[in-house]
Amino acid sequence: MSASELFDRIANEIYQQGFCVIRNALPEALGVALASEVRSLPEENFSRAGIGRQADHQNIETIRRDEICWIDNTTAAGQAWLLWADGLQQALNRRLFLGLFSFESHYAHYHPGDFYKVHLDAFRGQQNRVLTVVTYLNPDWTDADGGELLIYPEKSNQPLLTVKPEFGTLVVFLSEEFPHEVLPTLTDRYSIAGWYRINTSDSNRVDPAF
């Protein structure tokens, strides 16, 4: 699938249903570079992620346990990823007039036993995170490894989708509309989670939602 075919497919599915899951979507060489980088970063580059300004440390650990490292363009892999994400941003803006303005993303490492309970990536009305993008960097993932992403409809606890965190799978969804969770993983689980924002007057506030 060419980049433009892939971006067309994402745009169509976002337009029609608000989410899409595509296997083997990430360009192979990019996935390989990212999978290798995330495993070679020093442990101290990763830190426990937060969930909200009020939550204390203990609370956070009952909700999410992953460790994250924000991606910038100081490495070749980071640069290639941000370029790819920019291509997707431009394609979605051209096709859907979404007005996506900026992109932020981090590597996430879930150690065995780690999870992320049901949550939304953005709060309605705050117009901060508009679109979530997740991709997985785990070659040889098996069903026994757990760690699935479950995506729920807005008002139901029956999952719409179960996604295995397999290398190259790409998940895109409207951040305000789909509660989702990561089931406990049994082995090390590596991914990237990213968000496109639109340009609001408060977009320069530090971490408005999270």
Ligand X SMILES: O=C(O)CCC(=O)C(=O)O
Contact footprint for ligand X (CB under 6 A): 108, 116, 121, 134, 149, 180, 182, 191, 193
In the bound complex, what is the minimum distance in angstroms from residue 173's beta carbon to ligand X? 10
| CB nearer to ligand X: pick between 4 and 147 | 147
| CB nearer to ligand X: pick between 180 and 197 | 180
Which of Fe ion, ligand X, none does residue 191 bind (CB under 5 to 8 Å by kind)?
Answer: ligand X
Which of ligand X, Fe ion, none does residue 34 bind (CB under 5 to 8 Å by kind)?
Answer: none
Number of other CB atoms surrounding residue 140 within 10 Å: 8
Q: What's the half-sphere exposure (Cβ side, CA atoms, 13 Å) at 30?
A: 19
Q: Which helix (H) or strand (E) holds 182?
A: strand 180-182
In the bound complex, what is the minimum distance in angstroms from residue 20's beta carbon to ligand X? 14
Q: Residue 110 burial by CB count (10 A; 0-12/13-18/19+): exposed, middle or buried?
A: buried
Q: Residue 174 burial by CB count (10 A; 0-12/13-18/19+): exposed, middle or buried?
A: middle
Residues 96-135 that bind Fe ion (CB under 5 A): 121
148 belongs to the binding site for Fe ion (CB under 5 A): no
- In angstroms, the first-to-last Cα distance of the chain is 35
176 belongs to the binding site for Fe ion (CB under 5 A): no
| CB nearer to Fe ion: pick between 66 and 121 | 121
Both structure tokens of 115: 């999870």
| CB nearer to Fe ion: pick between 114 and 121 | 121
Which of Fe ion, ligand X, none does residue 135 bind (CB under 5 to 8 Å by kind)?
Answer: none
In the bound complex, what is the minimum distance in angstroms from residue 180's beta carbon to ligand X? 5
Residue 144 Cα distances to 148, 165, 171, 187, angstroms: 10, 12, 21, 9
CA dihedral 200, 205, 206, 207 (to 10 degrees): -40
In the bound complex, what is the minimum distance in angstroms from residue 165's beta carbon to ligand X? 6
| CB nearer to Fe ion: pick between 27 and 208 | 208
In the bound complex, what is the minimum distance in angstroms from residue 156's beta carbon to ligand X? 18
Contact between 119 and 108 under an 8 Å Cβ cutoff? The reply is no
In the bound complex, what is the minimum distance in angstroms from residue 50's beta carbon to ligand X? 11
Kindly list the residues in this chain that would bind Fe ion in the complex (CB under 5 A): 121
